[in-house]
Every structure is written in structure tokens, then in C-alpha cells.
Amino acid sequence: MNLEFLPAIILILNSIFAVTIVFFERRNPTAALAWLVVLFSLPSIGFVLYLIFGQNYTRQRMFVIKEQEDRRFLRETFEEQYREFTDRRYRFATPEAEEFRETIVLLLRNNRAFLTEENRIDLYTRGEDKFDALFAAIRGARDHIHLEYFILNNDDLGRAVIHALAEKAREGVEVRLLFDAMGTRAGGGSRKAFSELTDAGGKIGVFFPSVYRVNYRNHRKIAVIDGVTGFIGGFNIGDDYLGKGPLGPWRDTAFRVTGKAVQLLQLRFFLDWHYVTDEYPGLLPRYFPDPGSSGTTPVQIVSGGPDTRWNAIKEGYIKLINSARESVYIQTPYFIPDESVTDALRLAALSGVDVRIMIPCKPDHPFVYWATLSFVGDLLDAGVRAYTYDAGFLHAKTIVVDGKAGSVGSANWDVRSFRLNFEANAFFYDAAVGAGLARAFEEDLAVSTEITPERYRARSRRVRFKESVSRLFSPLG
């Protein structure tokens, strides 16, 4: 190849991608402008970065069938509840659900996130407790085990999980394990690492094997055992989540769910499993047993991803913030919101609501960390209080409003979770669960440092430069 033509070829490629971004992708204007800056300010590598991180024009082609199948199935399965709950004459069973009925109806209408009202929620903030509960549920399985995780590392904890699943498979329990190709491969996982499970008769599914694409990853963390016990939250499977990794002690949040909401976790797993493997286990009683009445907590399982028309989890977050009368507590490792989220938080704080955001004190992704500090800093003058968690790495993705309602799941407060990754969160409406989540937040304050406006304004020029550069490219995706 004659290298003298290389600059012209690069210019043509960048121009083609620029036209695609402007005229065909219809992406967020801020993100579009950021990509145009990359293409023409870094011409020699801009198109390579775009091939890896961009290309939203492929999203509709890749996931339109998944979206249509998911929505059709959910619509046919729960149409009766949809009609009932969207009727304003309907009264929910608990005062918290009635108080937040607009949030419930919003999520029902834009995501088919159907409400179950008879659940029990157990809250976990330590990896040891969460994985003890998961192993206990696996050991007690009698019919089936379904796991769906972004990361399943090939380390001590990951191998222990595979071994436990293989033991149950050898006993005749049906085991299905779904993991994301990129997330799990980054942790040393491969098909060979799961041979013990497959040799025992377990089934594995690999989500989106195109590991060269950073976007459109399955970031969900779901487990369903015998259709009666479910787990959802921020923990992946690996030694890091027990505090044994390079980031040290690990602070995360997860729910164990018993009750009818487990059926919705099961359904979410089946839809994702079907997309990956073309196998649909079906609405059999063995997979959807009558859970009875485990408790009184209303729960919605809300899904987000590139196969959804609207950003349901983000919109649920915003609706909760707008409904707050007393307090909004948020924990997230990544805080790169769009204007709709920052406006909601700013307006809540200016209205007298106690708005607090907690982020890590250390970065696992430096670029994202400095952008997070920048966006947090923007809100301080409006009265939002912000903290860095100093006792380890904060990985929780939570919100609790007025100590009565909130969300726990896999979705961070950033553009990637809102637009590009497949996520799943449990939205709850219960004062007891809300009080537990608020109490955990308040206990974390004792090992956190507040980012006051004075402290933020006193940051060094070096930090300001890192924030500015990171923020400039934060909309990319």
C-alpha cells in the first residue's frame, strides 16, 4: 500500500463516520459533537476509537428483534395488570406504593415493569454476606438454578461458584449460566474455565461474543433458584467483590428477594437466555411456582438497555427524585449524568430536599473518576452534599427517597448504564426497606469525607485539568 495516500484515506473514513453520526444515528447532540471532535482532532485514531466505542447505528439492527420479542411477550403476559394499575381508581395495598403510584405507573407504561406486592427483601452490603446467602440458596436448590452476571472471574470465588453449580448439575438440578463475553473474559474467564459445569450437564450462554465492542454489554446481575429465591444488585462474582482485589475492601449493595417479584427476575433471565441461545424454557409451573405471601414489599423489576425505546431506569431515578419531600440518598461508583438528571437533583436541593451523593475515594477507571468529580462539583452550589467513601471501593448503585422508596440494581448513574448497557434494577416501595438502605448510607458517612464547596474550589490545577479533559469526552458512547 502506498503510504502517501493514507492521510486521504483516513480523512475519507472520518468524513463518512461524521456523516453517519449527524444524519443517521440521531444520537444525543452532546455525544454527537464529542464524537465529531474526536474524529477531526485525532484523525489518525479517531475512526478506530469510533469503531470500538461508537457505531450506534448498528444498535437498532442488532437489538430490534430482541426488543420486539420482549415487549410482545411481556404485553401478552401482563396485559390485565397493565389495564388495572393504570386505572387511577385502583388503590395499592401499601401507603408507600400509593404515595409513589406515579413512579409505578411510569415504569409500568414505558417498560412493562409490572408490580408485585407480596415480597420479602433482605439487604446485603458486604460481599461475604451476599455470597454466603447465594451459596446457601444454590446448595438448597431442588429443580433449577439460573445465574446471569456481567463478570464471573476465574479466581477462587468464581471457581467455587462453578464447582457448586456443577455439584448440583450432577445431582440432576437444571443449571443455566449466562455471562457477558467481555466482562467475564476480562476476569480470566473462558469456555474452558466452565468445563466442570458443562461436563456435569450444566448449560452456559455467552452474551454478545463480539468482545471488541465495548458497548452493548450485559451488565445485569441476577440469580434465580427454584423460582422462589432471587438476587439482584451490584455484586459480580469474583474475589474483588470480597475485598480481595487491588482496590481493597469492597462496599456494594444487593437484595435477596422472595415472593412474586422472583417470577419477574425469572422472566428477565428467560428473555436474555432466549436471545443468546434460542432456547426458551417456557412458562412451566416448575419455573414459576406459586410463591405464596412472603412479605408486604411492593417491587418492580425494571430493565434498561439498547433494546428499549426509553431509558426506563434513568426515568425511574428522575421520578423518584422529583417525588422527594425530605431526602434523596444516592450511592454510585460512576456519576456522569445528563442534564435531565442534574436538573432534577439541583431542583430538589434548591427546594429544600436533603440531597446527598456518595462516590468512591479511589478510581477503578481514572477517566470516569475525574469526570465524576466534575459533575458532582457542579451540584455543590445548589446545596447538594457530596462525599467520598474512604473505607474501600464503593460499587453500590442505589437511591433511597424519603426513606420510603428507592432502587437497587446494576445501573450506575452514567451515560453507559442509561444508554448502552443492559441493566436490571429492583424498585421498591416500603418504609422498612427504605429505612434499612438509608441507615446503611448514614453508617457509611462515618467513614466518608465531605466534598464541601470550599474544598472543591481549592483543588489543584492538575486536578482541574484532569476533570476538564475527562468531562469533555464523557458523552462518548
66, 146, 168, 219: the active-site residue? 219
397 is catalytic: yes
Q: Is 122 a catalytic residue?
A: no
Please, are residues 472 and 376 in contact by the beta-carbon 8 Å criterion? no
Catalytic-residue membership of 395: yes
Catalytic residue status for 404: no
Instruction: Answer yes or no: are the C-beta atoms of 399 and 335 closer than 8 Å.
Output: no
**Contacts for 467 with CB less than 8 Å, ≥ 6 apart:** 370, 371, 373, 374, 377
* Catalytic residue, candidates 66, 146, 395, 466: 395
d(CA 449, CA 390): 7
Q: Pick the catalytic residue: 130, 144, 221, 260?
A: 221
- Amino acid at site 461: R
Q: In angstroms, what CA-CA distances link 93 with 15, 281, 436?
A: 57, 32, 21
The vertex-134 CA angle with 129 and 137, nearest 5°, equals: 125
Name beta bridge partners: 122: 256
How are beta strands 448-450 and 327-331 bridged, if at all? unpaired
In sequence order, what are the residues at sequence separation of 6 or more whose Cβ sits closer than 8 angstroms to the Cβ of residue 275? Answer: 66, 69, 207
Point out the catalytic residue in the list 155, 180, 272, 402: 402
Bridge-based pairing of strands 254-259 and 327-331 is: unpaired
Q: What is the CA radius of gyration of the chain?
A: 22
Burial (CB < 10 A; 0-12, 13-18, 19+), residue 297, is: buried
Spatial distance between the Cα atoms of 105 and 79, rounded to a whole number of angstroms: 14
- Which is the catalytic residue, given 130, 397, 404, 466? 397
In the residue annotation, 221 being an active-site residue is answered as yes
Task: Choose, from 70, 180, 226, 444, the residue flagged as catalytic.
Answer: 226
Residues recognised as catalytic: 219, 221, 226, 395, 397, 402
